[in-house]
Amino acid sequence: MTAHRNFYRFTSPLLTVAGHDALEELPGLLRSLDMLHPLILTDPGVRRAGLMDMVSAILKSQEDIIGDTWFDQIPPDSDTDIIAQAAQVYREKGCTGLLAVGGGSVIDTTKGVRILVSLGGEHLRDYQGADTISSQLVPMAAVPTTSGTGSEATLVAVIKDARNKRKLAFTSPSLIPSAAILDSRMTLTLPPAITAATGMDALAHAVEAYTGLGRNPISDSYALKAIELIVSTLPEVIEHPDNQEARLQMAVASHLAGSAFSNSMVGIVHTLGHCVGARCGIPHGICMSILLPYGMTYNLHRCRERFGKLLQVLSGKSVYLETSEDKRPEGAVAAVKALASRLHMLTDGAHPLRLRDILDRSGHPIMKPQHIPVIASDALGDPSHLYNPEEVSLDELISVLRAAYWGYPLDKDLVKLGHQK
């Protein structure tokens, strides 16, 4: 019974246009996708930043494209009601495709609208699940305005159910957008703290994709290139936010990391990050940055060889060669911690290093120690833990969260060792 092991699958059907002025390609791209009347979805923040003016100006000069049908009220924590409203606009206006301009929330919301307008029905929850959507959906293009989620390249959408506040998860190759435009101008206005958090989100995607159970040689190559770009570019972007070349490299890195994890899936870092975010409202990228070294330590014994190889990408060839083989995996974890610490310094402390350091407006920690067992319990229902190389249990998740909350090293003796190679 070995025949079933002899194949893997890697899906990336999307057309990517990347460059400093890539947005100029938008009209041609809309024509090629037969999207002459797109519904353009965005959020108020993107509008305020003036990014939509750029999109409007480009579309305004195109006589054959109707570029003034907008839905710009997507909140950071979008839900099924918002999607139903946007789908209604799409139907009423007779649109022929969807254009998402924004971060992860906007792109995931657009994926939800895409399901509803393509497959009909009123309730998105009827389509939740893995690989359940096999039909061809209406065309969708995405213009990311952050370099982190990589949602423009993924087959995943996570959307809150307005009825019961639960997260609905959708995974299907049909959900990968038809096209993505990575334009360095779209992230130029991002403040350093958000640039740091979203960049670490991309790093978490790449590292978890490289060690996830669904990994394959193609996802590995995407993940490694993404890590290389992030490590060499992220501090530079924080120090020099106007460096357009570095901004573009980060956008490409996020895109590659998105494509990698879309195929190999993610693990414990995202399992806990999703639940910390849902319970406490902490931004996803910050959760990822704090939890990544802890998640790596948790999985260290299962992926020593892989983490060892990561040291070369994270710290360079000379450090890799100077480090003895048995110390390289721990070296990779230390390199990730060092990157987070550097971002902490470069952002004057705005990029936190412990969960307890994330404060509300009155200066109190948003997450409290009593949240830890509840979040750990939630995490057992998060599908991403299935793809983690090591099994997780409630006690272990609590241990990881406690360590990340107080900022002390994870006690490896608390992790039960799995047996499978």
Which CB sits closer to other proteins, 294 or 387?
387
Q: How many CB atoms lie within 10 A of CB 160?
A: 21
**Which segment (72-80, 98-106, 166-174, 303-311) binds other proteins by CB under 8 A?**
166-174
Alpha carbon distance 415, 417 (integer Å): 6
User: Is residue 265 close enough to count as binding other proteins by CB under 8 A?
Assistant: yes
**Which segment (49-57, 144-152, 165-173, 323-331) binds other proteins by CB under 8 A?**
165-173
**Which segment (116-124, 192-200, 317-325, 384-392) binds other proteins by CB under 8 A?**
384-392
Among 57, 213, 359, 374, binds other proteins (CB under 8 A): 213
Among 19, 373, 383, 407, binds other proteins (CB under 8 A): 383
Site string for other proteins, 129-148 (x = CB under 8 A): xxxx----------------
User: Is residue 6 close enough to count as binding other proteins by CB under 8 A?
Assistant: no
Among 385, 403, 404, 410, binds other proteins (CB under 8 A): 385
User: Is residue 416 close enough to count as binding other proteins by CB under 8 A?
Assistant: yes
Strand partners, 144: 102
Q: Which strands, in side-by-side order, build the sheet including 179-183?
A: 15-19, 179-183, 140-144, 97-102, 38-41, 70-71
Among 188, 218, 391, 398, binds other proteins (CB under 8 A): 391
User: Is residue 419 close enough to count as binding other proteins by CB under 8 A?
Assistant: yes
User: Is residue 386 close enough to count as binding other proteins by CB under 8 A?
Assistant: yes
Site string for other proteins, 167-196 (x = CB under 8 A): -xx-x-------------------------
Which CB sits closer to other proteins, 108 or 390?
390
User: How many residues touch other proteins (CB under 8 A)?
Assistant: 35
Which CB sits closer to other proteins, 214 or 241?
214
- Tell me the closest approach of the beta carbon of residue 217 to other proteins, in angstroms: 14
Q: In the chain, how long is the greatest CA-to-CA distance?
A: 66
**Which segment (21-29, 162-170, 220-228, 366-374) binds other proteins by CB under 8 A?**
162-170
User: Is residue 364 close enough to count as binding other proteins by CB under 8 A?
Assistant: no
User: Is residue 421 close enough to count as binding other proteins by CB under 8 A?
Assistant: no
- Tell me the closest approach of the beta carbon of residue 232 to other proteins, in angstroms: 30
Which residues of this protein are in contact with other proteins, per CB under 8 A? 1-5, 8-9, 128-132, 166, 168-169, 171, 212-214, 264-265, 380-383, 385-387, 390-391, 416-420
